[in-house]
Amino acid sequence: MKTMLKLVAVTSLMLAAVVACGKKADRETAGETSTTSAAAIARASCTMVAELGTCNEYRNGQSFGLEKSLCEGFKGTFTNAGCSTDGQIGACTMSDGEVKRYYGSKVAGDHALTVEEARTDCQSDSVKGTFVVDPNAASAMAPVAKSTIPAVKLAPTVKATASLEAN
């Protein structure tokens, strides 16, 4: 539950930053058109797989200064490239073109979300995105681990009998 609350808080802050930057860009480029669909190439991303099991891709913007600051402030890794799709369980496309990718336990370990948790996050009031399950989602989830504690071999039971032999 704590991870979900942190996930919603981080998503809300990053979404607010993207919206704020997008409005500024709209004023500066009045009259120009841009593509904001999910098919557009990601120009930057914030990987938070180790912290939240997610990665956000940014398609609109120029310097991404605010996104980079927020990403690094939340212990993410900012790059000028898109997110990896290896180990992805689903993706959330937001109205501004940002795509949030969710990862399974093979990549995100303990911070992985289930497909249903990812869908809930994507469709929440703060994100308001469209969720698509990755066709390889099942393989992105690690199998249930068997116990790593070695089996203990018990010594054979010895029945103790008290017998006194007379000499």
Q: How many domains does one find in the chain?
A: 1
Q: Would 106 be classed as within a structural domain?
A: yes
Q: Would 41 be classed as within a structural domain?
A: yes
Tell me the CA distances in angstroms from 140 to 20, 55, 86, 107, 156, one per residue in order: 34, 15, 8, 7, 44
Q: Would 48 be classed as within a structural domain?
A: yes
Query: Tell me: the pLDDT tens digits for 130-153?
Result: 999 999 999 988 764 544 445 444
Query: Tell me: the pLDDT tens digits for 104-118?
Result: 999 999 999 999 999
Kindly give, in sequence order, each residue whose CB lies less than 8 Å from that of residue 100, ignoring residues fewer than 6 positions away: 11, 54, 55, 56, 57, 91, 92, 94, 121, 122, 127, 129
Q: Would 108 be classed as within a structural domain?
A: yes
Q: Would 156 be classed as within a structural domain?
A: no
Domain span at residue 37 reads 2-140
Q: Would 82 be classed as within a structural domain?
A: yes
Q: Which residues of the chain have pLDDT under 70?
A: 1-39, 143-167
Q: What global pTM score does this model have? A: 0.66
Q: Would 29 be classed as within a structural domain?
A: yes
Q: Would 76 be classed as within a structural domain?
A: yes
Where does residue 133 rank: exposed (0-12), middle (13-18), buried (19+ CB within 10 A)? Answer: middle
